[in-house]
A and B are shown apart, each in its own frame.
Chain A
């Protein structure tokens, strides 16, 4: 498989371009959090600083509560790997307003770029993944609209899938390993939750 060429930050910026009150975004801890924050911190972003493995189920709860809004979950491969069953739980509900975008750099980026389970198996005995394919897993869990994005020419379709295509939608995006600046949103979870509800519901 050829090396990834897509850069996560400009990609996430493009996905979130022109985000309005119709778009509710949940980002997994670490890099995905910094990615959506660099694209522009906003009250209807819920960037997680912990709760690894929770973004997909959180996105589902939100999508069921707000069927007229678009819910977009952006997270990393290792975060999703921790909660594969939640893809099957999403499939039981078939939320038309939910999109899941997984940025897969095949590394545990926050802890020193060790090979994650989506890395190929042939990286050597001490730093080898499993070659796990999260798109195949999502499909196998019952999500019909699944795709893998590797090339800049596919980004326009990715943006459409993330923002408007009838869900549940799952896109795996192979991204480069990069050393990027931490761009941090507020950390106080209660504040993040209250500002989100204030913007969405008109009360905290």
Chain B
């Protein structure tokens, strides 16, 4: 009980991905997802593919599904816009799609450049017909990602989980010097 209560939500996401038989995980470098990415890289059952841009993840996910494998795309809100055109492929081919998105540009964000895409993220995903789940409490991450995986792989939906900045923590570059 104590162990479970103190489990890190990033470790729990990895467990959920394994439970749902995810075989391919795509990612760009991301501080918020870094611990999960390291878990996936160490795993024998998951193939981890680093991308040059997030939209490659949609093509890879379509190819994996054609070949009978489940996948997940890890990205940051700043990369969501890169995927939007290809996100249509999940509808055209009607294949299950799961993406986990670490949010920037919302809760106490210091970098003004992160706000436009961060604020636009849920809207553009919804515009493309992606189901948007959102979680800002560590205790609810596991259940939320599990529900999203079920909606995707049992329900045939395209699903995004927004891991809110309140959950991840405010990015802090330490003491800044303003010029």
Contacts and interface: CB of A to CB of B under 8 A. Distances in A.
Contacts, number: 118
Interface residues on A, range: 35 or more
Which applies to chain A's interface (DSSP): helix, strand, loop or mixed?
A: helix
Given A58-B59, A85-B56, A51 B86 contact: yes
Interface in A176-201: 189-190, 192-193, 196-197, 200-201
A89 interface: yes
B171 interface: no
Given A65-B68, A66-B68, A190-B92, A60 B63 contact: yes
A46 interface: yes
B95 A92 contact: no
Interface string B18-39: 0000011000000000000000
B94 A60 contact: no
Contacts of B86: 51, 53-54
Interface string B50-77: 1111011111111111111101000000
A58 B86 CA distance: 11
Interface string A35-69: 00000000000100011011111111111111001
Interface of A: 24, 26, 46, 50-51, 53-66, 69, 83, 85-86, 88-89, 92-93, 189-190, 192-193, 196-197, 200-201
Contact of B68 (A54, A57, A93, A201): A201
A61 B59 contact: yes
B66 A56 contact: no
Given A61-B62, A61-B71, A65-B24, A53 B49 contact: no
B93 interface: yes
Interface of B: 23-24, 47, 49-53, 55-69, 71, 86, 88-89, 92-95
A189 B64 contact: no
Q: Which of B60, B65, B88, B95 has the most CB of A within 10 A?
A: B60
Contacts of A196: 66
A198 to B, nearest CB: 11
A58 B68 contact: no
Question: Which of A54, A60, A65 has the most CB atoms of chain B within a 10 A radius of its CB?
Answer: A65
A200 B59 contact: no
Of all A-B residue pairs in the complex, the 8 with the closest CB atoms, nearest first, are: A61-B63, A65-B67, A85-B52, A57-B59, A61-B60, A62-B63, A189-B92, A54-B59
A54 B63 CA distance: 10
A190 B47 CA distance: 26
B152 to A, nearest CB: 15
